[in-house]
Structure 1
């Protein structure tokens, strides 16, 4: 008897978009519970690729930019910041991991530094109020009295 799992998506192209949405064969997956399930099943494959894994079953995953996104940021420069990720987990921002990419998109490391996450616009704007420009043209985030330069990605 076959096990339940990825047979339903076998042959379909599953992609996680830079917008934080899930897609199957180019169509957005509108079911939030399926999207959340997929977000919780992301893992790194043996060739540094990405997979969806449920139990012993795996399916290839296309990642447009990063395998996780930051939907919201709470906190302040004194206490630090808490990230809300697309898999419904919350974790502390490691300010030393912040990077600035193309078009000033912000990125940080999540899941113990194992994965990179893209800050979606609401999270980006929430954090931007604490970011300061440096005389050399760079940017810095001060958290808990410590200075954290935002390096290029």
Structure 2
């Protein structure tokens, strides 16, 4: 890993931008085509993503956010549930304690069925809450885990303040069951079966 590697994917900032502009910025970000790469499994990366989103290599935190963002671009989840870092020539397992990403900020525009919601991830990426990126509430041993689908089988767990923002919207709008609309789809804020 080259410590002098330049930041090639600066994070998207939510502040001051409309959701339409944010969606355009997100669409312009080109990610490697990891879904097309099918190398043989080569072993383990000696890396782990902790539940709080911290990336570790050989037990030590990766101190450069740009490096973690770079690794996140070649991350995917296999059908068997394993997380892997994949390039055209190798596929390495990576341990993930909960989800690969965290949704750390939220932006909402509109009301009820006309509402649109975007989440900023800890990697600086943006996910629009919609039918292709649904919200799920899972019951985990540590409590409820609200998650949004990101890409390639990967999910982002919503930070508690972000989940509380969604809950405030659901309560204010009086949706039954409690939940929120985004991009024409309704997402209940209760644990699935």
Give the TM-score taking structure 2 as reference length. 0.59
Residue matched to 1:89: 125
Gaps in structure 2 of 5+ consecutive residues:
1-42
Please report how far the alpha carbon of residue 145 of structure 1 lies from its aligned counterpart in structure 2 after TM superposition.
Answer: 8.0
Q: Determine the structure 1 residue equivalent to 2:68.
A: 35
Distance 1:59 1:149, change over 3 A: same
Change (3 A) 1:44 1:135: closer
Please report how far the alpha carbon of residue 88 of structure 1 lies from its aligned counterpart in structure 2 after TM superposition. Answer: 2.3
Structure that is richer in strand per residue: 1
Measure, in 2, the Cα distance between the counterparts of 1:58 and 1:146.
35
Alignment partner, residue 101 of structure 1: 138
Q: CA RMSD in A?
A: 3.2
Q: Which residue of 1 aligns with 2:179?
A: 140
What is the deviation of 1:71?
Answer: 2.0
Give the Cα separation in 2 of the matches to 1:63 and 1:115. Answer: 11
Deviation sequence 1:18-68 (CA, Å, 0-9, x none): 111111233221111111111111112464311112332222100111122
In structure 1, stretches of 5+ residues that fail to align are 1-9
Aligned residues: 142
TM-score (norm 1): 0.72
Structure 1 residues 1-150: aligned runs within 5 Å: 13-45=46-78, 47-78=80-111, 79-94=115-130, 97-102=134-139, 103-111=143-151, 114-132=153-171, 139-143=178-182, 147-150=186-189
**CA shift in 2, pair 1:147/1:36, >3 Å:** closer
* Whole-angstrom CA distance in 2 between matches of 1:100 and 1:127: 12
Distance 2:120 2:77 in 1: 21
* C-alpha contact 2:148 2:156 (8 A) present in aligned 1: yes
Distance 1:149 1:48, change over 3 A: closer
Q: 1:27 to 1:97 in 2, by over 3 A?
A: same
